[in-house]
Structure 1
Amino acid sequence: MSENSDLQEEEYVALEAIYGPEFIQKEKGLKGTHDSYVVTLNLDQDDENLRSPRILVVRFFFPPTYPSNDPPVYEVSSVYCGTHKVDDAMLQTIDNEFQAMFQPGEVILFEWINWLRDFLENEIEKPDEDALCKQFKLQTLEEEQTKDEVPIEEYNTKEIRTNRISVVAPPIYTSPEPIVDRKSVFKAHVAEVHEQEQVRAVILKLLEDKKVAKATHNIMAYRIVQPDGHILQDNDDDGESAAGGRLGHLLQLTDVKNVVVVVSRWYGGIQLGADRFKHINNCARTALEDCGFIKQNTNKSNTKSKRKK
């Protein structure tokens, strides 16, 4: 089995040398388990401004019998590649081709990756930025439309801006210092709002900034106190699964009212795992504190100073 181990290590080193450490990363397995190799295929790495780049993450495991007898074990970690859902039919095609390509005794990962890249290029078209901008998640704000209003989806972004928004966007605060982690960048935008039209106005105002419009994700949440005392609230993931709900939960926990917060994330090509949620909420909390919506806790520091006296 030592020959297999040597071939596996040589294959990993070769792939890292060809594509770089950001493309393939070795993760140590827990005691008694094998190491895994995480491959991040970014078909649009030359276009850093795309909001939804075509990225597919695949995790490979080398059994002790690879390559002498058995192929690598793998799992596709991505649910979407760009805006295209990775469905069962696509997974079956990938699996059929992988199995057909393997020949006992020969390392196969390089051939698998090259075939997969070509397959994805042919299967999934590069995102249309104009279409993506129009699809920014404004549908969550449609609940208060009157019966004689024309549905939002029948308008493009420009038409919404000129024909539908009857209020001026309130002042928007943008965090001066972004959070940067493994080339991903997070920035928060906060505004005081008292009606849904103001939420719409804030979003459209932000989208006028080309950099914000091309962010990979613009996660949004808001809470508005109604005249009857009830709270009107909603959130939007904008493709970052579960992020909007977590951001909305932050507003609930901190009892923030009459505010909309948008966190822009520009993806840097490296998966952050659960850290991305931490950065989104920390970024939002800091901006809310800067604006006075969340009171900074100074009790601990005051207590410490009193003790010193």
Structure 2
Amino acid sequence: MSEALVDEIEAINSIYGDDTLTPSTQDQDPSIFILTLPGDTASLRLQFPQTYPDVPPTVLGTHSTGAAGKRGAAARDLTLFRDAVSEVYEPGQVCLFDAIEKVQELLAAVKEGEEEEDDEAVSPHAGDVPDATPTAPPTEPSAGGDLGPPPPWTLSAPFIENKSTFIARCAPVTTPAQAAAFLAHLLASDKRVRTATHNITAWRVRGPNGTSFQDCDDDGETAAGGRLLHLMQLMDLWDTMVVVTRWYGGQKLGPRRFALINQTARDAFVRAGLVREEVAAGGKRKGGR
């Protein structure tokens, strides 16, 4: 098993739960793992070649049909995950985190379409039933209800060290209120993020008439927000916000954690096209605007 796969297994289980990616107990082949997708979905059998991530994992099939027990849903999840792997995989780069996030997006779109079809099928036509007295709305909306569309996040790759996992999200923002609303949406809609150890935030916005606004939040990781904001200042990033989520792994990192937080944020900026990757002499990469 490659070191990259060991790190990826640790990151995936830190983010989504301890039993998300585990070795198969039904196969003698140690390269076969069981991936349990988040939510009410199927578990999948994956095989990782010795040369992964230079070659992609093979999605062998379903392991179980999930809590719903629907074969059709399991086949759907299998197809969507294969599509997600094909879309996100790049040779030499681990891909499971991106594939899981991608398949979650695809599943949400599919389920939304199914719900709309069900609503159309059961909705009475005008005149079929008498007007009913409106009822009060529920005190707590269902997951994702009334939150509006999700912010246009660009996610970093997961970074792990001593069992702590870091992931950054960045998005374009035009006002301080929008930055606050995007953070609120993230915390309300994603339980994994909401229950993480820290969600460190920084944003910078250019206002009208030459004004500017910037702020940050440590979320319990003392001085981390200010360092994140300083990184954005050095990179001359404007009209952007970033949220770095950390799941603590039980081992203190000391000052090293600040470098990891900034490294993760920078990766999100690069993926969003806000920073240009340049290859200097000797093959070492550096960033520029």
TM-score range, shorter chain: 0.3 to 0.5
Highest CA radius of gyration, 1 or 2?
1
TM-score, normalised with respect to structure 1: 0.43
